[in-house]
């Protein structure tokens, strides 16, 4: 039995700093998110996902020729193995897309020629493969589950446009591509949240990058993390029209249920990503002839802010999932693909964290994560229990 008295932290690690990072910073009080020193707002408005991915992985924004080389490498990795497509075809159509993505990510490892090479260069190559191939898995799955053949990648298209093309078989208009590209940038990285922590924890064991990313996909699938955007859209569909928002909100709060897309573990103001997504959701809704989803979201935001003040005397804020739901829906992305779409973007952040976890040069170097627990289970008196043979054990 442990004699020593240790401090117990039972707060989901809130407020506990467990490692240093140069990748991103979230200022929850001021509502600022930076990737390697750049405001995500500036990146979303002025760069492409490929530039942001370069920034995250290679630690700086690319110049024109670096970007061309980086894009070429990404484009070259867009195909997925035929045997992986064949495996997808054996899956039940009702499989959860996040499970497909997680399993597909693990399967990609089986085909990687550098899987046993533990160098920064090899791991970076694998990161590029993951960034390019996970969208291809998702797009292929969307087609397969609908009885269609996967669409081969189009090497002329950007990362964002190619995903939409592989999913639908059609090249979207430039404004939709631009919006989707911005969404990919906004979702690419967010410091030590649950899924990034999962990726880093796995990477800290020196497991390969596919194992780390697959673990992160599993973590993101939970409704308190990436799964919230799907729940936001289901909520909007249930509400049905802007005039029903107030009643819905009151009923949910009365029943003590959480409103999806509101609140955040770190932001104490509106999530800066939500502020960029909201006008895109409005414009996309107008373009799609479905303005009601944005209108309902806006009404819900305003009414919820009032209601939290009155009922709980607290401020509540919109998070990234709140407006991405209506935006993706108006773009025609199926509701159960919202979280996987979040994941294929976040692969850029996760892989950057794996690289940092395994190859950071500056001190303090990361080490194997191994927290302690406080055992509150049984002993049999002051000593350990005596093991009884199975036929003598009581029911
Ligand atoms: N709906 C209703 N009440 C909420 C709420 C929400 N979305 N978010 C927070 N609250 C309430 C909590 O119930 C709690 O009230 P209490 O003190 O009476 O128990 C109070 O606000 C503090 O919230 P808490 O859960 O402690 O905040 P947190 O920082 O630990 O949790 C989340 C953050 C994200 C888990 C939480 O806000 C949530 O569940 N949001 C909905 C899911 C979501 O959108 N997730 C995506 C995050 S990007």
Instruction: List domains and CATH numbers for the chain.
Output: 11-227+334-359 (1.10.580.10), 239-330 (1.10.230.10)
Token pair belonging to 333 = 């992305």
pLDDT at residue 363, as a whole number? 64
- Give CA–CA dist 276/25, Å, rounded: 18
Q: How many whole angstroms from 309 Cα to the centroid of ligand 1?
A: 14
pLDDT at residue 1, as a whole number? 44
Q: How many whole angstroms from 48 Cα to the centroid of ligand 1?
A: 32
Token pair belonging to 344 = 């294929």
225 counts as catalytic: yes
Atom of ligand 1 nearest to the CA of 12: 30
pLDDT at residue 373, as a whole number? 87
- Do residues 308 and 266 make contact, with C-beta atoms less than 8 angstroms apart? no
Atom of ligand 1 nearest to the CA of 312: 18
Token pair belonging to 323 = 């407006």
pLDDT at residue 4, as a whole number? 56
Burial environment of residue 65 by CB neighbours within 10 A (0 to 12, 13 to 18, 19 or more): exposed
Residues of the chain with pLDDT below 50 are 1-3
pLDDT at residue 6, as a whole number? 66
Atom of ligand 1 nearest to the CA of 320: 48
Closest residue CA from atom 18 of ligand 1: 312
What lies within 8 Å, CB to CB, of 143 at 6+ separation is 149, 150, 151, 167, 169
Which candidate, 141, 142, 164, places its Cα nearest to that of 153? Answer: 164
Q: How many whole angstroms from 292 Cα to the centroid of ligand 1?
A: 26
pTM (whole model) above 0.85: yes
User: Residues with beta carbon inside 6 Å of ligand 1?
Assistant: 224, 228, 258-265, 319-321
Q: Which residue has the tokens 């401090």?
A: 7
- Do residues 147 and 63 make contact, with C-beta atoms less than 8 angstroms apart? no
Q: How many whole angstroms from 369 Cα to the centroid of ligand 1?
A: 27
264 counts as catalytic: yes
Token pair belonging to 318 = 């919109």
Q: Which of 112, 270, 271, 321 is catalytic?
A: 321
Secondary structure letter of residue 205 according to DSSP: T
Closest residue CA from atom 9 of ligand 1: 263
Secondary structure letter of residue 370 according to DSSP: -
Closest residue CA from atom 35 of ligand 1: 224
pLDDT at residue 2, as a whole number? 46
187 counts as catalytic: no
Q: Which of 54, 187, 264, 353 is catalytic?
A: 264
- Do residues 98 and 343 make contact, with C-beta atoms less than 8 angstroms apart? yes
C-alpha triplet 380, 381, 384: angle, nearest 5°: 45
Closest residue CA from atom 40 of ligand 1: 263
Q: How many whole angstroms from 101 Cα to the centroid of ligand 1?
A: 27
Closest residue CA from atom 2 of ligand 1: 258
């Amino acid at each position: 039995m442990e004699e020593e008295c240790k401090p117990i932290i039972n707060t989901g690690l809130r407020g506990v700093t467990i490692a240093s990072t140069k990748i991103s910073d979230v200022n929850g009080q001021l509502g600022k998110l930076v990737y390697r020193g750049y405001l995500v707002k500036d990146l979303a408005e002025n760069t492409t996902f490929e530039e942001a991915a370069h920034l995250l992985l290679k630690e700086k924004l690319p110049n024109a020729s670096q970007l061309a080389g980086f894009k070429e490498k990404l484009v070259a990795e867009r195909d997925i193995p035929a045997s992986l497509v064949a495996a997808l075809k054996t899956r039940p159509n009702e499989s959860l897309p996040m499970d497909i993505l997680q399993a597909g990510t693990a399967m990609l490892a089986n085909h990687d020629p550098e899987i046993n090479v533990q160098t920064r260069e090899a791991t970076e190559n694998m990161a590029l493969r993951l960034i390019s191939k996970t969208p291809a898995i998702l797009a292929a799955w969307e087609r397969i589950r609908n009885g269609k053949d996967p669409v081969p990648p189009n090497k002329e298209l950007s990362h964002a446009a190619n995903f939409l093309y592989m999913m639908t078989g059609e090249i979207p208009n430039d404004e939709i591509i631009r919006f989707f590209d911005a969404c990919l940038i906004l979702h690419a990285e967010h410091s030590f949240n649950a899924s990034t922590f999962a990726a880093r924890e796995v990477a800290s064991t020196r497991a390969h990058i596919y194992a780390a990313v697959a673990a992160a996909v599993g973590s993101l699938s939970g409704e308190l993390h990436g799964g919230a955007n799907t729940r936001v859209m289901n909520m909007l569909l249930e509400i049905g029209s802007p005039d029903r928002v107030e009643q819905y909100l009151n009923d949910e709060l009365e029943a003590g249920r959480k409103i999806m897309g509101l609140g955040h573990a770190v932001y104490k103001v509106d999530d800066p990503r939500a502020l960029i997504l909201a006008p895109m959701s409005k414009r996309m809704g107008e373009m799609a002839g479905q303005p009601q989803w944005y209108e309902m979201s806006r009404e819900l935001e305003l009414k919820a802010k009032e209601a939290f003040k009155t009922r709980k005397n607290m401020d509540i804020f919109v998070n990234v999932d709140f407006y991405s739901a209506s935006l993706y829906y108006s773009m025609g992305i199926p509701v159960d693909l919202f979280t996987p779409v979040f994941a294929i973007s976040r692969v850029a952040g996760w892989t950057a964290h794996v690289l940092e976890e395994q190859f950071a040069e500056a001190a303090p170097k990361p080490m194997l994560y191994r927290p302690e627990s406080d055992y509150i289970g049984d002993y049999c008196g002051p000593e350990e229990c005596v093991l009884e043979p199975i036929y003598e054990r009581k029911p």
